Amino acid sequence: MLNRADKEGLIISHFVFHILEKDEEDPTFLDEVVLTNNQKTFFSKWLSESINMGNEYEFRNPDHPGGVKSLCSKIRNENEFIESSKQMSSEFKRFHKGSSSDGLLIIALVQLQTGSALFLVKMNYSETLQYDLATINGRTVAVLKEVSNPINESRQAIQKAALINIDSEYEWDVFAQDKQNPISHKIADYFQNFLDVREKEVASYLTRKVFAAVSTWAKRYKADIDPDQNYTDYKGRAYEYLSSSDEFDSEAYINSVISDSDEERRVRLKNSLRSFLADNGLEGRAFEIKRASIGKSQSKITWQTHSDVKISFTGTPESNNIESRTQKNGETVITITTNRVTKT
């Protein structure tokens, strides 16, 4: 997943698509796609949002001479971009032998603040890409019509998408998603074989990262949160979500973490946390939650009284049958309900 800076600063260097028809053995190749400046701006934003959830992958055989990785090293060369994109389209068509729908394979080389990357987007025919074909000096050229429908609507036509890391600072080789699997976002076997990738073992790392992000956010914006809550309240609810869920969903996570009776502040805090997760490349991530990866020292919440009595727990006070209330004289009464007390 791209961080916010790379999303906002994405620039298209080269852009083409090839036509895929289920009844044709080979793609219909284009030699050029003409984009106006407005269309370049539109598709820069469209591409940056085309993969809004997904998983990280690494190349299985990065030195394979005919694989996608090898073609990426050629595709950076302006003189080889079109021919390399045609080879990629042929390979995609070769691997996709099952049921399919007519559509397009978009291939775009982009520049990020952290380096360069390649987008591969398989989409069904859509109003987003209305075009006329022309033959100019023996070359097949597509001239796009102006895009009228909003970006969020045009994304509905995307079936599969992959972002291939060429030389950016990200630790993954490929970040990909598949509309076929809206919950896990794991890509189809044929798409995985076409890319020659395997899923990275990052679930434990991401579980720890999204958990730590809430504490960092709550501490940083402590002046904005509910004055009757402490940052540990948000941390506790984050732990409760990660302990009770199998698959991470950033929107459900945000809704679980932010609990506030003030509706205006609740909306504001949700937007703030969502933005913080996006800045750190965590919004929209999809992965299996590895709750065991969160150590006790990271998850533990400790209350300490004036007389140095300590109460430690994980999660929320409510889930641990702990009640805290402040009396008129300023003293705090803490009640713990349990069916067993171990004295040591």
pLDDT at 182: 66
- Extract the tokens encoding 241: 């979500």
Q: How far is CA 302 from CA 86, 309, 313, in A?
A: 60, 10, 7
- In whole angstroms, what is the distance from residue 169 CA to residue 115 CA? 7
Residues 275-311 as b/e (b if ≥16 CB within 10 A, e otherwise) read ebbbebbbbbbbbebbeebbeeeebebebeeeeeeee
pLDDT at 75: 84
68's CB contacts (< 8 A; 6+ apart) are 59, 88, 91, 164, 194, 195, 196
pLDDT at 162: 94
Give the H/E segment covering residue 129.
none
pLDDT at 103: 87
pLDDT beneath 70: ranges in the chain: 65-66, 98-99, 126-128, 147-155, 182-185, 201
pLDDT at 216: 94
Find out whether 220 and 212 touch, Cβ atoms under 8 Å. Answer: no
User: How does strand 32-34 pair with strand 139-144?
Assistant: parallel
pLDDT at 252: 95
**How does pLDDT run across 234-283, given as a tens digit for each residue?**
999 999 999 999 999 999 999 999 999 999 999 999 999 999 999 888 88
pLDDT at 153: 56
- Extract the tokens encoding 101: 């729908």
